Amino acid sequence: MTKVIAIHSFKGGTGKTTLTANLASTLALTHRVGVMDLDLSGPGLHVLFGLKKGDIKATLTDIFLGDASPDEVIIDLSSKFGLKRGCLYFCPASNKVEDMLRLLKSGLEVSVFQDTLKRVGESRNLDYIIVDTHPGVENDTVLAMGCCDALVLVSRVDQQDLFGTAVMVLLAETFEKPTYLALNMVPPGVRIKDAVKVGKELAQLFKSKFLEAFEFQMDVINNLSRSVFVMDNPNSTFAHKVSGAAEALVRELGEAPRVAT
């Protein structure tokens, strides 16, 4: 059974998409992982995955609209990232304005979304599907929240951001979904152990679980969304932290059988 992890943030610019790509890539070292770009109004994952216009034949939007099958949409990135044990698949969102408008107008039904998740998961026998949503609380965010097995909330140490994150925790509670708090872009000058402490306290306050605190790192910023940082820098502090977060999520969701070595 494929587990669905939704990644979300209340505000934009929290580094959500970057974290999604890095988390998915790390999980894919040992698992069969699919990534869905559900940031339908501002997709960006394909850039991080180094895809060009010609690489994308059909999009997730086409599946939702019934214009394409998962096989036509899913892009296998495993060999590109040199994955030997795990697999990484990607469902791109359309970056065509007309497609986005069509989908946003027609609206997404729970059944359609769930069906899509199921078909994608089964078509590649996936252990995990990671869904990158767009910031704020919109209809598709609510769908992702309702259909996922776990919701990772990415927030900066910022008053407005944490306020929104608290709202998201309360909403997830109504769907009885577990939430995991990831503090991202912790400013320089704040000791990381203090940030972890803040995160844990906040999680307790919001009845959520603390996942990890990631420092604001110039290395990651300087990567300028051109590639997946952990794949290029597997021995960096950031990579180790992402790896720790991935392992924690796997534990929380119940160990999926790892791909045989």
Partner 1 sequence: MQLARSRGVALALAFSALLGLVSTGLPPIVHAVESYKVQAFPYYSQEGSTITLLLTVSGASPSTSYGFDFIVQDPANANCTSTIQHTTGIVETGFYIIVSFPGALFSGSCAPTSLVGGYRVYVNQTKPVFKRNVNPGVFFLIGLVDSLPPYVYVRTQTVHIQATEYQPGEPAIVNIRTTSSLTLVFTNSTTASPAGAVTSAWKIPRNATVMEGYLVSVSGLTPKSPSDTQPFSVQAAPMTISTLGSSKLVYQRTETFSFSFQPVYPDGSLAETGIALVTLARPDRVNVTLTANYDVTSQEFLAVYKTADTNQTGTWTASVAPHAFDDGNGNDGPSTMISVSPQLQPASLIVSIASKSNYAVSQQIMFNATIQYPDGTSLQAGPVSSFLAFSGGGHNDSVPILYDSTLQLWIGSYTLGYTEPGGLWSLEVSASDSASPSNSGFAVRVLTLQDRPPIASFTESAITALPGVAINFNGTASNDPDGTIVNFSWNFGDGSTGTTLIATHSYSAPGTYTVELTVTDNSGTVSSSTSTVTVEAPPSAPNGNATLPLFYFGILAAVIAAMLGGGFAYFGRHRVTHANLKIDLEAVKTEAGRIENNEFFQSVKEQLRKEKDD
- Applying CB under 8 A, which residues contact partner 1? 13, 109-111, 114, 137, 139, 142-143, 146-147, 157-160, 162-163, 166-167, 170-171, 174-175, 187-191, 194-195, 197-198, 201-202, 204-205, 221
Residue with tokens 């939702």: 64
CB nearer partner 1, residue 101 or residue 170: 170
Q: Which helix (H) or strand (E) holds 131?
A: strand 128-132
CA distances from 11 to 135, 139, 155, 188, 244 (A): 5, 16, 8, 20, 24
Q: Which is nearer to partner 1, 149 or 243 (CB)?
A: 149
Instruction: Give 14 or 25: the residue with its C-beta nearer to partner 1.
Output: 14
CB of 155 to partner 1, least distance (A): 11
Minimum CB separation of residue 207 from partner 1 in Å reads 12
The SS3 assignment for 210 reads strand
**76 vs 14: CA distance, rounded Å:** 27
Give alpha helix (H) positions in the chain.
16-27, 45-48, 60-64, 70-73, 97-106, 110-123, 139-147, 159-174, 192-205, 218-222, 229-232, 237-252
190 versus 256: smaller Cβ distance to partner 1: 190
CB of 191 to partner 1, least distance (A): 7
Which of 68, 196 has the CB closer to partner 1?
A: 196
Write down the least CB distance from residue 98 to partner 1, Å: 23
C-beta of 111 vs 261, nearer to partner 1: 111
Q: Which of 175, 102, 95, 181 shows the shortest CA–CA distance to 143?
A: 175
Question: Which of 209, 217, 214, 216 lies closest to 244, judged by CA?
Answer: 214
> Residue 176 CB, nearest distance to partner 1 (Å)?
10
Please state the closest distance from residue 171 (CB atom) to partner 1, in A.
6
Residue 182 structure tokens: 């990831």
CB proximity list for 191: less than 8 A, separation 6 or greater: none
